[in-house]
Each structure stands twice: as C-alpha cells, then as structure tokens.
Amino acid sequence: MLTRVLAALSDPIRLGLVRLLADGQERGWGELRAPVAKSTLSHHLKVLRDAGVTRTRQEGTRCFVQLRRTDLDNRFPQLMEALLSVAATDDIGGDVTAARRDAPR
C-alpha cells in the first residue's frame, strides 16, 4: 500500500535508514547508528519491514538489513529515486550512520 510506505518514510530516522541502505548494500544491525535507544531502532526497522521497504536476514545471532529496492521500483516506479534525491539534498536523517563493520557497539 502506497500510503503505508509514505507513512513509513515520513519519519526522519527511518528515512535516514533508507538513505543509508540506498546503495543496495546489506548492513549489519549492529553497524547502524541512530540517536535513539536500541528498542526504538528495532521498532523503526520493524515499521520499514512491515511496510515492505526493507528485508531482514538472520544469520546466527545477528541480522542484516537490506533495502528492497527492486521490489519498490517495480511497485512504485520513480518514487524511491525522487525521494532519495530530495532526502540527500536536504540531508534528512543525516544523523543515521553506519559504523565500521568491526567497530564496538
């Protein structure tokens, strides 16, 4: 549902997460750095997952998040491109980053 996706992306932190994943690279949950508690981050990732924006893969005790770019592009042509472009220009969710893969939490 389009409205679901728009609601999911109408939060700066979630949009920041999407920006971070925009290169198509899978990211480890533990790499993600956002100015919220981990339970809140888990919540945001669940919202994105439930809206069909991201996919989560579990591997042992840790999991990896990925943007469902091709699915989104099929269902909502041009939308992510337009969105990511504006979000980058305005640096929305710029406080969401990724730590080095071997960085301590």
Residue 40 interacts with which of DNA, its own copies, none, CB < 5 to 8 Å by class: DNA
Is the CB of residue 26 less than 8 Å from the CB of residue 66? yes
Q: Does 7 bind its own copies (CB under 8 A)?
A: yes
Q: Helices (DSSP H) in the chain: which residue ranges?
A: 2-8, 12-21, 38-50, 69-75, 79-89
CA distance 46 to 40: 10
Q: What is the dihedral of CA 7, 12, 18, 23, to 10 degrees?
A: 150
Q: Does 6 bind DNA (CB under 7 A)?
A: no
Q: Does 84 bind its own copies (CB under 8 A)?
A: no
Q: Does 46 bind DNA (CB under 7 A)?
A: yes
Q: Which residue from 26, 49, 76, 98 is in contact with its own copies, where contact means CB under 8 A? A: 76
Q: Does 90 bind its own copies (CB under 8 A)?
A: yes
The binding site for DNA (CB under 7 A) comprises 7, 10-11, 13, 28-30, 35-40, 42-47, 56, 60-63, 105
